[in-house]
Structure 1
């Protein structure tokens, strides 16, 4: 099947001038660094945003969350991507590596498409020894847990759309959903 990812490219840097919830259209937690600094943006910005949503739906936490939106943006620009295993150590190391690559500040080090990201994540989860081969990915396998990962990603995309539709109140909805699903805050 095909997946259509929408909504992540709608905001611009100008959307942040008044801060989230005060007229902005995009929560700063999901915007790719290149968009923040006015560089050329392509589909890899959506890969970044999808990875951030997957990080949050997996852990119940936003990847670069801080007390202020300016600090959140600063962390995004200057800190390495967070490791999902610092929150959930039981996750495969390969899954964490792929997710960190997808949230890399440099778009050239990210998967080129959302489909490639999902294939890499699926391969990482299905890898028998928990390792990941950089640059070589097996085609997706249809297994029960693969369907579960796909369902989680579809849910994450739906929740992300709610974030953009309801602006500041969407983040509260997303936080409550993560707490309900994962018991995390």
Structure 2
């Protein structure tokens, strides 16, 4: 497939998707995010370095070439928390746009209710359990408060968030769906 065809159709090419909008062309990079949930609590990680440093988040990262989205989710969870999971439930997909950046982030969000191992700090993340009524939304990405409750309620969703910088949401859409 030629790159030109990928641009016109929005298809994947070399683990990236290409989209053409009037006046602009965006590439989309694939990411994963895993939330480990147990009755009355959720495991989050304090991001220690890189994009989103200083914020609590789920565990995840970039999908590598030749890797499926679910394989990437499992790998990132293990690398960042020391945990493995038997089952991942795909809960949602959100596209993020950051003003001034021509690369969109397509994040595939998973939920894991069972895991193996003990949460262990890594170079990138410091894991900590939070009671569901004490989730630190004020120290998380601004969009989390919109979709995070859907994951906890086991509702499937798709969304789009446009950010100015890392703190300000300029616009967003979020809808529950039958399948992701």
| TM-score, scaled relative to structure 2 | 0.28
Which structure has more RCO (C-alpha within 8 Å, separation ≥ 6)? 1
The structure in which a higher percent of residues are helix is 1
> Could you say which structure has the higher strand fraction?
2
> Which TM-score applies when normalising by structure 1?
0.27
